[in-house]
Structure 1
Amino acid sequence: MRMMSSYDLMETFRNTNQWMGASAKALASYPALSMVPHPAVQWMAAWGEVTERSFKRMVAKPDWGIRTYTHEDGKDHLVEIDTVLERDFGNLIHFRVVGRPVQPRRVLLVAPMSGHYATLLRSTVKSLIVNCEVYITDWHNARDIPVSAGKFDVEDYTLYLVDFMRELGPDTHVIAVCQPAPLTLAATAYLAEADPAAQPRSLTLIGGPVDPDATPTDVTDFGRRVTMGQLEQSMIQRVGFKYKGVGRAVYPGLLQLASFMSMNAERHTTAFNEQILRAARGEAGDHDAHNRFYDEYLAVMDMTAEFYLSTVERIFKNREIARNAFVVEGKPVDIGKIDSVAVMTVEGAKDDISAPGQCIAALGLCTGLADSKKASHLEPGAGHYGIFAGKSWRDNIRPLVLNFIDANSGKPATRKAANKNAA
């Protein structure tokens, strides 16, 4: 109950700030105040507008906002989001372009479960939907999942990926972004032994902590400094009475957001102050740069406690993937069993979350894979976000990934063509 009370207290704080913003905005728009135009009234309205929007976004899942696509035929085609597989903790969805011929490239994007929704990869999806059939893992907010659905840890996550790959079949190319990279590698190895015919054609790992110790960062140092007991005591709470997952142990999204914001508190404070001034001058808009960024950044989701704790303990502390010692349901997963799936790693030279060296470690683990099936790329000057959604992704990395996919679109057993973009 203590942890449920603290969860409800955080939600009460958020809700109160949203109400205060809405109240200030409403009060400032009172008709009688128009007779006395005063800068303080304009500032109060602007403060209320920005505050209400910000705190409201924290509990709202962003919309994908991908409704139409202009095909090379010059026509606008509707984009329908179909649910291919529905599970308690996450769905497999497909962005289907209505009226367009099915594209030969079938891509599965594995989205992170690290505090934000899969919509964080919206721009990645938009860039790939141009000439690919795009599928993505749409993870659910743990606060909305009843306790009766059971647990969800790194092993369950891996098995979800196995099911998704099996559903899409062997003509699939998997792209894992950030946090899921090591678990996607493990899922591919699991299939290599348990169901070789269901393996994807290629696997691209982008900025993921396959070996967190390869190049330490603040993230990996934090995982080393704290004990599991300290993490459980300070980070884990139980969902309060407002949501369907009441009683479920989670790492709350609001707590994660507080950590994110504190890391760059001065920058965020300046951004919000400037937005209030823009709103007061009538220069702010629903789709301006500030709102586009923070509508996504502030929208956070809870992770199950067992997923968060097992990620820290098994991926970061014990380095089970890096040591090729990962176990799923009591069965060892040997990454060396991957012998036909082409594997590519992408890293950003200025990535301060998954620094260069952490992701490329995957290639060394694939001891059963021919060198001709391995590739790597280090993007100069790119940070973490840029390697999957920024200019570096659009101009350099996306073409490399698509070339890698095309070079490995034959049958898995074929080992003839070398990857020209291998580093």
Structure 2
Amino acid sequence: MRYMATYDLMESFRNTNQWLGASASALASYPIFSLVPNPALHWMAAWGDVTERTFQRMVARPDWGIRTHTCADGRDHLVNIETVVEKPFGNLIHFNVAGREPNPRRVLLVAPMSGHYATLLRSTVKSLMVDCEVYITDWHNARDIPVSEGKFDIEDYTLYLVDFMRKLGPDTHVIAVCQPAPLALAATAYLAEQDPEAQPRSLTLIGGPIDPDAAATDVTDFGRRVTMGQLEEMMIQRVGFKYKGAGRMVYPGLLQLASFMSMNAERHSNAFRDQIMRVMQDEAGDHDPHNRFYDEYLAVMDMTSEFYLSTVERIFKEREIAKNEFVVDGHKVDIGKITTVAVKTVEGENDDISAPGQCVAALDLCTGLPDEKKAQHVEPGAGHYGIFAGSSWRNNIRPLVLEFIDANSGGKSGGKSSKPANKNAAA
């Protein structure tokens, strides 16, 4: 499958379905058909609208959609999205609220590179902007990065995080969501050895696979069943001539989206069937719950082949982070060297991606960190998405994270607490 023709075949399939949807919608909308009302034509138009939108947004990068923020003065302030550090494979961006004094809580939100854009954390960003100065890693679509820019694997990802942390300085609080949790832990340990003055004040790891073998899921089972040779043969393709990254070996976003949807095929098919009926009955809108969710869910990006394969091999199969054997740029990282950065883990009781036990393993690896600087939380009834973007995050987890940040800010957070790291009831 490692050919441009295969990559272009998937894009052709997507493009064809988008065209079929647009054609069906246009055909069913001919004025002449209104002379003979027919439910089949209404269904055809609705099917066309939903199908066109579905396949069109697979190649569209979602907008952040964060334009204003209501501050304590009761006024809406413009939000300027500024690039702080620009790199070939990802930028560090800042949500600067115009006219607001910089918030003393400086947060670096590390977005996952797992097939979706950083905009997947839009609601997380908006909720943190109320009380924090928010920065986030904005990873680029590999298909748009020329081959001349070189490779990008998990070691490069870790070094990007190191550079971002150095740029923001030691008064930063890092929150890593899902996939980057083990690499954020490694980046912090790397700084602890190489540049202690640049270490963040706290590190919060949310639903990440620190030790994938601590609790089995479909994701970890897949990693065990399939060999690296099979993965490379089945999953890796070469970007076609249509994009700037022509010739780059990638794990295509469309292929990963197919895997995502196959895990819950019945639920997704029911959702689209119901949406077609809502469009027929004029009950749908651009910003209804279905479109808000799928506009983000279906917008996928390619990952470099070396990043995808090294993640599977080194994080899931070899468990280099879990064994404290991770090497970055020839340097063996010792997580036990973290002695001053407070570490908190957050897990969801019903998380079927990174099950409870996988993330909290980070605390055992931090052998040089005092117990008072360790904290953990397991959110009852929460799934993977809920622990960073759902009601569980808004109502329960976010307040705990802010409390943890304040407890480890050295009196600079602006919050009421300056005590050591919290140990909540789930610890």
Q: TM-score, normalised by structure 1?
A: 0.98
Q: Deviations over 1:150-177 (max 9, x none)?
A: 0000000000000000000000000000
CA distance in 2, matches of 1:54, 1:416: 49
CA distance in 2, matches of 1:37, 1:176: 54
CA distance in 1, matches of 2:391, 2:209: 22
Partner residue in 2 for 1:31: 31
Give the alignment's Cα RMSD to 1 decimal: 1.3
Q: Which amino acid aligns with 1:334?
A: D
Find out whether 1:364 has 2:364 as its counterpart: yes
CA distance in 2, matches of 1:153, 1:233: 18
* CA apart distance, 1:411: 8.4
Partner residue in 1 for 2:286: 286
Q: Which amino acid aligns with 2:346?
A: V
CA spacing shift, 1:24–1:378, aligned 2, 3 Å: same
Q: Which amino acid aligns with 1:71?
A: C
Partner residue in 2 for 1:204: 204
Partner residue in 2 for 1:63: 63
Does the 8 Å CA contact 2:408/2:421 hold for their aligned counterparts?
Answer: no
Q: TM-score, normalised by structure 2?
A: 0.97
CA distance in 2, matches of 1:264, 1:328: 36
* CA apart distance, 1:416: 7.3
* CA apart distance, 1:267: 1.1
Paired residues, what number? 421
Within the candidate set 406, 414, 422, 1:419 is matched to: 422
Q: Which amino acid aligns with 1:173?
A: H
Find out whether 1:168 has 2:168 as its counterpart: yes
CA distance in 2, matches of 1:261, 1:30: 34
Q: Which amino acid aligns with 1:186?
A: A
Partner residue in 2 for 1:270: 270
Does the 8 Å CA contact 1:404/1:421 hold for their aligned counterparts?
Answer: no
Partner residue in 1 for 2:3: 3
Find out whether 1:21 has 2:17 as its counterpart: no
Q: Which amino acid aligns with 1:106?
A: R
Q: Deviations over 1:109-146 (max 9, x none)?
A: 00000000001001100100001000000000000000
Does the 8 Å CA contact 2:50/2:276 hold for their aligned counterparts?
Answer: yes
CA distance in 2, matches of 1:270, 1:239: 32
Partner residue in 2 for 1:152: 152
CA distance in 2, matches of 1:307, 1:329: 15
CA spacing shift, 1:418–1:23, aligned 2, 3 Å: closer
Partner residue in 1 for 2:415: none
Identity %: 81
Does the 8 Å CA contact 1:111/1:177 hold for their aligned counterparts?
Answer: yes
Does the 8 Å CA contact 2:404/2:421 hold for their aligned counterparts?
Answer: no
* CA apart distance, 1:106: 0.2
Partner residue in 1 for 2:324: 324
Instruction: Report runs of 4+ in structure 1 exceeding 3 Å deviation.
Output: none
* CA apart distance, 1:27: 1.4
* CA apart distance, 1:421: 2.9
Q: Secondary structure at the match of 2:213?
A: coil
Does the 8 Å CA contact 1:349/1:379 hold for their aligned counterparts?
Answer: yes
CA distance in 1, matches of 2:87, 2:305: 18
CA distance in 2, matches of 1:394, 1:417: 23
**1:14-413 correspondence to structure 2 within 5 Å:** 14-410=14-410
CA distance in 2, matches of 1:365, 1:43: 57
Q: Deviations over 1:45-66 (max 9, x none)?
A: 1011000000001000101111
Structure 1 segments unaligned to the other structure (5+ residues): none
* CA apart distance, 1:31: 2.0
